Amino acid sequence: MKTIKGPAIFLAQFIGDEPPFNSLEGICTWAAGLGFKGVQLPTLDKRFIDLKLAAESQTYADELQGKIRSFGLEITELSTHLQGQLVAVNPVYDQLFDGFAPEAVRGNPHARQAWAVQQLTYAAKASRRLGLAAHATFSGALLWPMVYPWPQRPAGLIEEGFAELGRRWRPILDEFDAQGVDLCYEIHAGEDLHDGISYERFLTEVNDHPRACLLYDPSHFVLQCLDYLSYIDIYHERIRMFHVKDAEFNPTGRQGVYGGYESWLNRAGRFRSLGDGQVDFKSIFSKMAQYNFPGWAVLEWECALKNSEDGAREGAQFIQNHIIRVTDRAFDDFAASGIDNALNKTILGL
């Protein structure tokens, strides 16, 4: 068994325009001061990483690693959540998702998709140069507007949507394979890969590609009323990343799973800071240890109630308290009688 690495923190929700969150040095000083040992880096802000340069220059990658390590931190993984989203966009979302892309490709879905694919290619190469084993992204969504079948979906629509999703991602997965990096899809409502069934459909389309792995985040399963513990039992061989994020689901006579028109504060399902929600993290960390999870426990803060800095400070300690330092011996070794083949045969009547 392996002891999970951590605690680490995903920086996306903390980056801003005010110190210490407006520079790599400032945010690393802050994170290390809270007890974090790793940082997961989003890749669209050049104040923190120049993704193209990291893909092309080993010198730059080494300098970036060295700078972060000087604060007692490691880069856990890179993230292209926003770029991955743009690999597959249903036309109904074109204008909404244009904001994730550079101005030069806005209003041009084909150019925007090509830009996103290039970003993922850079991410694969940058991850290799940084010595990282896994990478985080979203699948994008061609089919999400059709998730509830009314009006009735045309025959073959779902099959064609997943076939196209596979066609778009297969070359990217091959690039990650060439770089020796697992591509981990965060299974997330709003994405075509939002539960186990959709993930399995996708695996079929990419021929069970060995790099088509998973970022496990139980908060998204609480909001879907999915069994997030048995999910680990089913998919543990593909889980390569772990977002430690809490959530709660409190249905009423007025709203349930489809409570999305309300603000985050007033939804039946909402994300919470660690320890304030309903996720059974003791059982999750136990299963992760049982299945030899090879990666980091990474805090992702999203909460409609608690201040983000309080959530980060409490979250670092929460993760530290939940990491199981795995045992190197069986608890009943004290009663071991040693190996005696002759005795064993006698006991068995052989």
Mean pLDDT by 10 residues, the chain (350 residues): 95 97 98 98 98 98 98 98 98 96 98 98 98 98 95 96 98 98 98 98 98 98 98 98 98 93 95 98 98 97 96 98 89 73 89
Q: How far apart are alpha carbons 244 and 9 in whole angstroms?
A: 9
Count of beta carbons in the 10 Å neighbourhood of residue 226: 16
What is the per-residue pLDDT for 64?
98
User: Can you name the residues that pair with 183 across neighbouring β-strands?
Assistant: 135, 212
CB–CB of 246/219 below 8 Å? yes
CB–CB of 174/135 below 8 Å? no
CATH at 134: 3.20.20.150
**Overall domain count for the chain:** 1
Q: How far apart are alpha carbons 179 and 188 in whole angstroms?
A: 26
What is the per-residue pLDDT for 328?
81
**In the structure, how many helices (H) and strands (E) does the chain have?**
13, 10
What is the per-residue pLDDT for 339?
82
What is the per-residue pLDDT for 334?
67
Q: Which domain holds residue 66?
A: 5-347
- DSSP string over 197-264: HHHHHHHHHTTT-TTEEEEE-THHHHTTT--HHHHHHHHTTTEEEEEE-EEEE---SS-STT-TTS-G
Nearest to 68 by CA among 32, 18, 15: 32
CB–CB of 78/158 below 8 Å? no
Q: Please list, in sequence order, all residues whose beta carbon lies within 8 angstroms of the beta carbon of residue 256, skipping any fewer than 6 positions away.
A: 268
Q: Please list, in sequence order, all residues whose beta carbon lies within 8 angstroms of the beta carbon of residue 4, skipping any fewer than 6 positions away.
A: 242, 285, 288, 289, 293, 295, 296, 297, 323, 324
Predicted TM-score (pTM) of this structure = 0.95
For the record, the structure tokens of 19 come out as 């110190």
CB–CB of 61/54 below 8 Å? yes
E-strand ranges in the chain read 5-10, 38-42, 74-80, 134-137, 182-186, 212-216, 239-244, 246-249, 269-272, 296-299
Residue at token pair 């803060």: 301
How far apart, in Å, are the Cα atoms of 75 and each of 50, 51, 132? 14, 14, 8
